[in-house]
Amino acid sequence: MDSTTWVGATAKQIARAVRRGDASATQVVADHLEQIGISDPALGAFRVVRGGEAITEAEKVDDQEDLANLPLAGVPVAVKENTPVAGLPTWHGSAAARTPEVAEEDHEVVRRLRGAGAVVVGVTRMPEMGLWAVTDDEDGPTRNPWDLERTPGGSSGGSAAAVAAGLVPLAQGNDGLGSIRIPAACCGLVGLKPGRGAVPVDFGDKDWFGLVENGMLATTVADAALGFAVLAGQVPGKLVEPSKLRIGVSLRSPAAGVKPDEPNVSAVTKASKLLVDAGHDTVTADPTYPTGVALGVLATWFAGAYKNSEGLPLERLQPRTRRHIQLGRAVTKAGLVRQRQRDAWRERSIQFFADRSIDLLLTPALATAPPPAVQYSATAWRKNMWANASYAPYAAPWNYAGLPAIVVPVGFRPDGLPLAVQLVGPPDSELLMLAVAGQFEVLNPWQRHALV
């Protein structure tokens, strides 16, 4: 971190300095807005930057008499564009999908961030209706700060790019089939998808039948834990060093015919060794991914697009989106979105941990490198489906089960892009996974930002 700017500081460092009076929220936010102006034209991470409004809100933070109870005092944050921010339209990934009116009030997670002292500097881009694991729209692709020719993932791609480039220390995202964890893996970040019910969702009928969870993207485990505590309505505290755990390790892909490439296999090997170095036991433990679950995930994905398209100008939506909606209409009419199937998979997944006597499961985060940053929105639906399924199959089953999962950086691919692994746990294991991720960070510190 440059001593003349707060850009590059962690959320915890900023909040501590603002609470102590060593820095002003106004200066911190001004520093980050300046960096956004410099770096974002190349990245395309932000849909809207709230320059003047953010400075005004930072001044209000500085004017508060008691900052002691603000865990995010003065911290600049970004919010994904499908999450209502008072005074802004809710874009949902394109001009065609945006709401016609501005939001009258903040979404609950935005309200909690602001209540903790954070300042919303802007909203970040996502693919249309959040359907894809790549981020692009009619304005062009959002780019990965580690390699501008690669995608930052999706659907929280803009949030991940903003954090990885140091434009904000924290960004909110949401995860319906991997939309926090996939961008975290692409951009070398910590990305936690909480389990069902841990954090408010409140997207009405746009929650993909309950698959979606809100969470945060961060460059450190401590910041990820702080962001999770704020969103979950908890009092932030120190992570507790875990006792000796038994952790299952699996390379098995949930997608038939898709296998992890050598760098992603090596990432799991490295993470397994780190776990042993931290004092834990590791055992091979392959989940069985039934065909019915894969079909259920696909049906819910399609049906979610159909359900969320109500009232939208379908003729203005991207061709890939329209195809998704058509399939969603068909599977909805056929009754293929089945809650009992999801409930059965959840029970089976929870039982998997008990039957194998494991506390957590370690898997690859991705199967291949992030795809190129191109305008997939202008290409055929089939190409989009293959691009998504072939590089990022490991996340979706755990949304379908409603279990918590986290992505943690572990190094770099030979091409210089980040490598990461995924940890999955039973219900209410978010803090345990964060604590284990913290052990990874201590034993194997990672480079926090790409140099854009």
Q: Which residues of 187-216 are buried (b: 16+ CB within 10 A; e: fewer)?
A: bbbbbbbbbbebbbbebeebbbbbbbbbbb
Q: Is 156 a catalytic residue?
A: no
Q: What sign for the dihedral angle of Cα 167, 169, 175, 178? A: positive
CB of 156 closer than 8 Å to CB of 174? yes
DSSP 14: H
CA dist 286 and 8 (Å) reads: 39
Catalytic residue among 39, 94, 155, 159: 155
CA dist 222 and 29 (Å) reads: 21
Q: Is 179 a catalytic residue?
A: yes
DSSP 100: S
Q: Provide CB contacts within 8 A for 98, sequence distance 6+.
A: 89, 90, 91, 92
CA dist 437 and 440 (Å) reads: 5
CB of 120 closer than 8 Å to CB of 88? no
Q: What does each C-alpha distance from 4 to 31, 62, 78, 213, 361 come to in angstroms? A: 9, 20, 22, 37, 42
Catalytic residue among 39, 156, 179, 309: 179
Q: Is 250 a catalytic residue?
A: no
CA dist 172 and 159 (Å) reads: 7
Catalytic residue among 12, 80, 206, 307: 80
Q: Write phi, then psi, for 409 (nearest 5 degrees).
A: -70, 145
Q: Which residues of 234-252 are buried (b: 16+ CB within 10 A; e: fewer)?
A: eebeebeebeebebbbbbe
Hunting for tokens 């508060």 — which residue is that? 64
CA dist 407 and 171 (Å) reads: 15
CA dist 66 and 432 (Å) reads: 32
Helix 262-277 and helix 430-443: axis angle, to 10°?
90
CA dist 5 and 12 (Å) reads: 16
CB of 352 closer than 8 Å to CB of 290? no
Which residues are tagged catalytic?
80, 155, 179
